[in-house]
Structure 1
Amino acid sequence: MPILLQINVTANWGSTGKIAEDIGKLAIEAGWESWIAYGRGNPTSASNLIRIGNDFDMKFHALQTRLFDNHALASSKVTEGFIRKIKEIKPDIIHLHNIHGYYLNYQILFRFLKEYDAPIIWTLHDCWPFTGHCAYYDFAKCSRWQTECHDCPQLKSYPASLWHDRSTKNFFTKKESFLGCRNLTFVPVSDWLNGELKKSFLSGYPAVTIHNGIDLSVFTPAETVKEDSTQKIILGVASVWDKRKGLDEFVKLRKLLPENYHITLVGLSNDQIATLPDGITGIRRTENVRQLADLYSMADVFVNPTLEDNFPTTNLEALACGTPVITYRTGGSPEAIDDATGFIVDYQDVEALARQIVTVCETNAISANVCRKRAENFYNKKIVFQQYITLYNNCLKQ
């Protein structure tokens, strides 16, 4: 029985943790023994679980990041202990996801991986592996990562450093650590990120895009009834709302829409909800996916004015519930839709965003059935993630 080990900051929680969980379930169905190593939380899983460190280790790692800008270079003893566990398990495939997040030392891990005789798969959920600091750089309009990071313009962004700028040293430490690893294959989750990867120091490695998938049995059109049939509902969803996710864009948008258009935003904090203007309703983050599917189904249109992103699953969830999507031309966000299921608007063009929203709501030109069909054809997680099992098997044959 082949053995799979996945490594991610979370297990069966959050977007990347759920992806790892779903891949593990498919691997088990295919006859694999599945393990997931993770850094935070207290999850349950169909796979065998390994926690890397504990809450104190994470807090100490975060403190070092704030003071020294050395993110993912702390947790040395914890990482060495985890490597001993890997040697006991002897996985046939090691699958990396987010190895950042205050729980792991990538320099020590890759020193081991370069010696370990097994294929390594690395799914890229963001840009952190090839920058000197940040996970995204579009909002800052920074391209220094293509040559050499320095004078980081996003030092206070995740993983935040209070004052020390180690971006140049981090850039070259990553480059030294990640290059020279045999049998390493990258899996960007969007074509956009695949293109960015080709501009980075990791361009020499093989890479194949595998888009994210969702549970179509959960995210499915629901019978919902509006309290006011004349009202148009605009929905936005994010796990954390900030400028990067487009919260300010919705505030600007509210001023441009007709009075009977109402915006609902899911995932806000209490403080953010308290500051919302009239015409915008805020809802705290919910883990109740059925409730979320009902909100998608009730909405006339799902709007994603993200200012930097990879391949947001919220777009897929909306489509699966029969709701058209309008998004900025940002990162891999436009890849989820086509001309029959939504609109792509130029970056931060709020007036164009408002016009397209009115077009969708007033003309009913986009069919809920067509949106659902696109989700079924391209984003069924049981089909999408099967590509990983095929990739594992192909790697073992080489």
Structure 2
Amino acid sequence: MEIDYINGLKTDEIFGMSKYQSEIHSRLDNVKLNRIEYPDVSKVTGVNRVVEYFAYPFIVKKKVIENNVKHVTRQDLAFLLELMDLKKTIVTCHDIIPVAYYNTRNPIWKLNAKGLRKAEKIITVSEFSKKDISKYIKYPEEQIEIIPPAVDHNLYYPNRSKKCLSKYGIGDSEKVILYVGAEEPRKNVQFLVNSFSKLKNRIPQVKLLKVGTPNYIGVREKLLKQIETLNLQKDVIFVGYLSERELAELYNAVDLFVFPSLYEGFGMPPLEAMACGTPVITSNTSSLPEVVGDAAIQADPYNVEKFVEEMYEVLTNEEFKEEMTRKGLKRSKIFSWDNSAKKTLKVYKEL
């Protein structure tokens, strides 16, 4: 079986959506992918990446094969279905955050919404996302297949060691809280910094590690100003992008993982942290309760005082921390990339 794999920008970076596709397709032995991507030539030629993006439909039109199933691997490429006549189409739609959360009026997202409605099947990652796609895009629920992400347990597993923290100037005696993700408004990082500041009044020897890029204009500057106002310049450490191996090492080095996001289509970092034996506090909003179940603390992402209490309890109650670790390890094993690959193959065969 050959699939027209319409994947957008060609990149070696691994992040949520690209990780999802690579994990699943690495397990589909009998499926050949006709990769249709556009190269990142912006750094070499100076061509704006937006120009590359709008040239992509011409590349797709030239390279698709008529009888192949067409798999558009992310929701922000769904506009292709509106701009050209494609048969046997699947779109993987992880979330519709621009529409459902930010209420965008971006014309490209109007095209994406129209394109999503033309897909013969939509694959999404959670029951929450399925309901939002149905509600906001007006797409029939019976044509939406839930295929959740999972954890690579050969990479994310308990291998506890604080050794890697020395490169960030963190001593063995200090407690370390980790956040992995962007800094856009829905990620609620300013709330986290406020909560951390109050926690530091109770546990002076604590650091906050922040992994990931800003991903939103002006947000890093605002965050740095907040950190300076709270006098946390030495206590909040920005790490930037990490490889998966480095990330697994960091999950294993910290005392607590926090994820106070206001809106997620799924949310993989809490699952990865649990697979490494790290206790997790996350939000009680959107898809996150569906992901973590009773294996993590589900906190109100608007209540700073309560969030501080939850962090303090995990960092000071060893028995409670061990119980959370046990539950987290058990929960993380429910999610299997092999099962997700089998479900994806079933969708391909149906078309």
Structure 2-normalised TM-score?
0.80
Which residue does the alignment assign to 1:389?
A: 345
Structure 1 window deviating more from structure 2 (33-42 vs 311-320): it is 33-42
Which residue does the alignment assign to 1:107?
A: 82
In the TM superposition, 1:19-168 aligns within 5 A as 19-27=20-28, 29=29, 31-41=30-40, 56=47, 58-60=49-51, 74-75=54-55, 78-87=56-65, 90=66, 92-100=68-76, 105-109=80-84, 112-113=85-86, 116=87, 118=88, 120-127=89-96, 135=98, 137-138=100-101, 140=102, 154=104, 166=107
Secondary structure in structure 2 of the residue aligned to 1:287: coil
5+ residue gaps, structure 1: 43-53, 63-73, 129-134, 143-153, 160-165
Instruction: Check conservation: 1:137, 1:308, Cα contact below 8 A.
Output: no
Q: Percent identity?
A: 20
Alpha carbons of structure 1 residues 4 and 180: separation in structure 2 relative to 1, 3 Å: closer
Instruction: Determine if the alignment matches structure 1 residue 262 to structure 2 residue 207.
Output: yes
**Aligned partner letter, 1:58:** R
Q: Aligned equivalents of 1:24 and 1:93: distance in 2? A: 15
**Residue correspondences, number:** 323
Instruction: Check conservation: 1:8, 1:99, Cα contact below 8 A.
Output: no
Q: Cα RMSD between the aligned structures?
A: 3.1
Q: Aligned equivalents of 1:59 and 1:384: distance in 2? A: 32
Q: Aligned equivalents of 1:177 and 1:337: distance in 2? A: 32
By how many angstroms is 1:211 displaced? 1.1
Structure 1 window deviating more from structure 2 (228-237 vs 214-223): it is 228-237
Which residue does the alignment assign to 2:304?
A: 350
Instruction: Check conservation: 1:4, 1:91, Cα contact below 8 A.
Output: no
Q: Aligned equivalents of 1:177 and 1:236: distance in 2? A: 34
Which residue does the alignment assign to 1:197?
A: 133
Instruction: Determine if the alignment matches structure 1 residue 292 to structure 2 residue 247.
Output: yes
Task: Pick the aligned partner of 1:374 from 331, 336, 339.
Answer: 331
Instruction: Determine if the alignment matches structure 1 residue 214 to structure 2 residue 163.
Output: no
**Aligned partner letter, 1:236:** Y
Instruction: Check conservation: 2:186, 2:262, Cα contact below 8 A.
Output: yes
Q: Aligned equivalents of 1:249 and 1:22: distance in 2? A: 32
Secondary structure in structure 1 of the residue aligned to 2:198: coil
Instruction: Check conservation: 2:275, 2:332, Cα contact below 8 A.
Output: yes
Q: Aligned equivalents of 1:80 and 1:225: distance in 2? A: 50
5+ residue gaps, structure 2: 164-169, 215-219
By how many angstroms is 1:349 displaced? 1.5
By how many angstroms is 1:278 displaced? 4.2
Secondary structure in structure 2 of the residue aligned to 1:203: coil
By how many angstroms is 1:228 displaced? 4.8
Instruction: Check conservation: 2:206, 2:235, Cα contact below 8 A.
Output: no
Which residue does the alignment assign to 2:185?
A: 243
**Aligned partner letter, 1:246:** N
Secondary structure in structure 2 of the residue aligned to 1:56: coil
Cα deviations by residue, 1:284-309 (Å, 9 ceiling, x for unpaired): 32332222112111222110011222
Which residue does the alignment assign to 1:47?
A: none
Which has more helix, going by share of residues?
2
Secondary structure in structure 2 of the residue aligned to 1:298: coil
Alpha carbons of structure 1 residues 55 and 309: separation in structure 2 relative to 1, 3 Å: farther
Q: Aligned equivalents of 1:213 and 1:319: distance in 2? A: 12
Task: Pick the aligned partner of 2:265 from 291, 310, 321.
Answer: 310
By how many angstroms is 1:56 displaced? 3.1
Instruction: Check conservation: 2:126, 2:147, Cα contact below 8 A.
Output: yes
Instruction: Check conservation: 1:97, 1:123, Cα contact below 8 A.
Output: yes
Cα deviations by residue, 1:19-75 (Å, 9 ceiling, x for unpaired): 222222222x1x121233234548xxxxxxxxxxx973733367xxxxxxxxxxx43
Structure 1 window deviating more from structure 2 (192-201 vs 269-278): it is 269-278
Secondary structure in structure 2 of the residue aligned to 1:306: coil
